[in-house]
């Protein structure tokens, strides 16, 4: 196992944060206005990304069967494990060993197939997760809100030309 002080997701350097944020900062918006502004911005971006990239909105499950293979491992050394629990399901006749999803990477690619997304179409999602082994600092929380999208493309479209087209649309 690696030294967590050297882990890329490890403790941030708060001294750098202090250099960026002014000490006398006062928000122009109150907490309610801030929340309204955040959701207005997210709605605007999501609506226009969907229009420009031909995306549909889908929901990532919060919980998956451990055996599904959908849950991403967040590290190579096995130190960041998902939250798991047993669901007895009908008095243990059909039990499920469940896990809280940690990331949407694998799930998005499986969803492209599940929702019959054709090349040139895609999906956008706003996944929520809990990562119990995260090292907490100004950049990391155990609560994750992963806003992400995935575009279905053909093998021939996997090139710099298409990437530039997509970036221009964004």
In this prediction, what percent of the chain has a pLDDT beyond 70?
89
Q: Which two tokens stand for residue 18?
A: 């202090």
Regarding the domain delimited by 54-169, which CATH topology (the fold level of the hierarchy) does it fall under?
BirA Bifunctional Protein; domain 2 (3.30.930)
Residues 1-30: what's their mean pLDDT? 65
Cβ atoms 57, 93 nearer than 8 A: no
Helix (H, G, I), strand (E, B) or coil at 124: strand
Structural Rg of the chain based on CA atoms? 20
Q: Is the pLDDT of residue 37 over 90?
A: yes
Domains of the chain, by residue range, sit at: 54-169
How confident is the model over 157-169, as pLDDT tens digits? Answer: 999 999 999 999 9
Cα–Cα dist 141/105, whole Å: 19
Q: Which two tokens stand for residue 132?
A: 């119990």
How confident is the model over 128-155, as pLDDT tens digits? Answer: 888 888 877 777 788 888 889 999 999 9
């Amino acid at each position: 196992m690696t030294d967590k002080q050297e882990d890329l997701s490890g403790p941030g350097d708060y001294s750098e944060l202090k250099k960026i944020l002014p000490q006398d900062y006062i928000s122009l918006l109150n907490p309610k206005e801030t929340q309204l502004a955040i959701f207005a911005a997210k709605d605007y971006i999501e609506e226009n990304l969907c229009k420009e990239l031909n995306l549909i909105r889908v929901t990532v499950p919060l919980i998956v069967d451990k055996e599904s293979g959908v849950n991403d491992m967040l590290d190579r050394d096995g130190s960041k494990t998902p939250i798991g629990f047993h669901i007895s399901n009908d008095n243990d006749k059909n039990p499920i060993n469940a896990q809280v999803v940690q990331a949407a990477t694998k799930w998005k690619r499986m969803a492209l197939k599940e929702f019959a997304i054709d090349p040139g179409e895609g999906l956008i999602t706003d996944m929520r997760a809990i990562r119990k082994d995260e090292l907490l600092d100004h950049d990391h929380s155990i609560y994750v809100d992963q806003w992400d999208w995935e575009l279905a493309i053909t093998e021939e479209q996997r090139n710099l030309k298409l990437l530039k087209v997509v970036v221009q649309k964004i």
